[in-house]
Amino acid sequence: MYFRVTVVHGIYLLSMVLLPRNIDRLMCRFGHKPVSAVYWFQQLMCLRKQIMRSLVIICILAGVVSFSTAREFRCTAQINYLKLEGSGFGFLDELERQIEDYMNNNNWTEDQFEGHELIECSMQIVFQESFTLTSFRAQLVLTSTRPIYGTMAKTPLLQISDESWDFSYAQGTPLVFEVERFDQLTSVLDYYAYLMLGYDYDSFSEFGGEEHFQQAKRIQQLASSSNAAGWSTLDIDGRARIVDQLTNPRMRPLREVYYQYHIEALDLFILNQESARTKVLEVLQIMSDLYEDQARQYVLDIFFSTKHKELVGIFEGSNERGNAYDLLSDADPARLSSYNVLLE
């Protein structure tokens, strides 16, 4: 929103610089327990929401406010159809813009995001084969990130490769935003939009992403009756398996430490590296216990496939690298070669 009144504009910009909304989501929620240095900002965060709400009402009444429409995502899409045999597939280039518009210009939640708060994500769509001139099988490679508090760095929240995406697309076909209706193309976009929202909200608030994971599960349940590829509950590493595990009470310890990893370790790493590393070791211990109790849980593998490089960076060269290696080798033996650097 833009203000034509200098004083109000100054107050607004100051509040946006000093009191980002990400911390509002963290601190101003019912039942949250403040942590460490961030605690001292809690009352200011809540006060800012009240001040800004009052300012907006005043400015609307004064007729001096115009609104811009920020959504939830800042997604980029990349299309690759080099594997398709034959010619005539150049029209698929337009799908790149269509997907970006679909992800970035629809309202996925009732929350209001400022421009600097948008969830950044990338979607690489690699066409594997064509059944007809308008019917395809594609691989989706998805990545989403969130900022690390107090730094310019970002941390990956979700990195996943989905190789079972069958859909039809004809040149010029619009992508219709209708979450409650199954569509081979847009339902996959809807599903991953809510999955990314769930992971993002879980990283700022304990179990904060529950409603978004539940929405992703409803999309999966709706799609499963279509017998389309990738939606079956029988797929070991399919879309159904992800949301079933994320919403399973037995996996709540994973989501709890996922929150702790981001809020009590990454976001405070710049303030106290040793304390942050200790917290990460606690998280890894719980992960190791979960791996023993919940073998073949796909969401555990997603966590480590997303975070393994970051985890190596946290402990490389530190006095805790040996302890980290022991826990990582127990919790994530599939990527042992990546963790060997901690022994050097």
Domain ranges of the chain: 2-66, 73-247, 252-343
* 227 contacts 270 by C-beta, under 8 angstroms: no
User: Residue 133: exposed, middle, or buried by beta-carbon count in 10 A (0-12, 13-18, 19+)?
Assistant: middle
pLDDT, averaged in runs of 10, over the chain (344 residues)? 31 38 42 44 41 41 42 96 93 97 96 89 98 96 95 95 96 96 97 98 97 98 90 89 94 94 96 96 93 78 96 96 96 94 93
Checking DSSP bridges between strand 135-147 and strand 154-168, what pairing results, if any?
antiparallel
Amino acid at 134: T
- The pLDDT of residue 32: 44
Sequence-ordered list of residues with C-beta below 8 angstroms from that of 246, at least 6 positions apart, any chain: 198, 213, 255, 299
- The pLDDT of residue 343: 93
- The pLDDT of residue 70: 54
CA-to-CA dists, residue 118 to 70, 146, 280, angstroms: 8, 9, 26
- CA-wise closest residue to 154 among 144, 167, 164: 144
- Rounded Cα distance, 207 and 153, in Å: 24
Report if pTM > 0.85. Answer: no
- The pLDDT of residue 27: 43
- The pLDDT of residue 41: 41
- The pLDDT of residue 292: 78
CA-to-CA dists, residue 265 to 69, 202, 269, 290, angstroms: 33, 15, 6, 20
Query: Virtual CA dihedral for 78, 159, 236, 108, nearest 10 degrees?
Result: -70
Buried b or exposed e, range 249-273, using 16+ CB within 10 angstroms: eebeebbebbbbbbbbbbbbbeeee
- The pLDDT of residue 4: 22
